[in-house]
Amino acid sequence: MKSITIKGSKRESVGKSATKALRNAGMVPCVIYGGEKPVHFSAEEKMFKKLVYTPNVYTALIELDGEKFAAILQDIQFHPVSDKILHIDFYQLFDDKQVTMTIPVKLAGTSPGVLNGGSLRFTNRKLKIKAFPAKLPDFVTADISKLKIGGKCFITELFNDDYTFMHPDNTVVVQVKMSRNTIEEEEELEEEGAEISSEETSESTEAPKTASE
């Protein structure tokens, strides 16, 4: 998985007044959990843009006063009005410890069901996996090239030796359903077929005309 470097400074004072002063200075108060003890630090808000405002997922390499910490974003708080970042929690990574992370799903291929008028339902765009840091993928790939109308891609079809999915085996990642237009067209065809059949039946039951008539 790709990593983004964040440079900041450790902070000793973690009180409300100190935190408010940091935010007024354009800094974001943060904490790294998962190690022997929490590490409190702050960094400029612009340092987090590539990590937060993106559909992709990255690990973070946090550089603090000569020390480096590999981590993942665990929780983030935004201002309810301005949407500015108020606080971020990170979780420290260790090479020998597995970590749980939510990874985006990317679709590969073209569904024949969609080409035939079906509707693609991408129900799980992100999946939670568990893996060692070195095995964390940038994304999970779901192949839809064999999905016909009514077809489903279950999470078991995305099995990978590098990580474990934290979802039930019957989880549907993506499926192709019959679209409303297709259903309406089929209903119209059925109605037309019924009308034609009715006309043919009525014609066959009419008495033949005689020459005197």
The pLDDT tens digits for 132-172 are 999 999 999 999 999 999 999 999 999 999 999 999 999 99
Give the domain range for residue 113.
100-180
Banded pLDDT at 20 (limits 50, 70, 90): confident
| Conformational region of residue 26, where left means phi above 0, alpha means psi within -120 to 50, and beta covers everything else | left
Mean of the per-residue pLDDT values of the chain? 86
* One domain, residues 89 and 110: no
- pLDDT tens, 61-110? 999 988 999 999 999 999 899 888 999 999 999 999 999 999 999 999 99
CB 3 within 8 A of CB 60: yes
Q: Assess if residue 189 is contained within a domain.
A: no
For 165, other C-beta atoms within 10 Å of its C-beta total 19
Banded pLDDT at 189 (limits 50, 70, 90): very low
Q: Assess if residue 185 is contained within a domain.
A: no
Q: Assess if residue 72 is contained within a domain.
A: yes
| Chosen domain end from 93, 118, 142 | 93
Q: Assess if residue 195 is contained within a domain.
A: no
Q: Of the candidates 172, 174, 200, which has an alpha carbon nearest to the alpha carbon of residue 119? A: 174
Q: Of the candidates 168, 122, 170, 180, which has an alpha carbon nearest to the alpha carbon of residue 147? A: 122
Residue 194 scores a pLDDT above 60: no
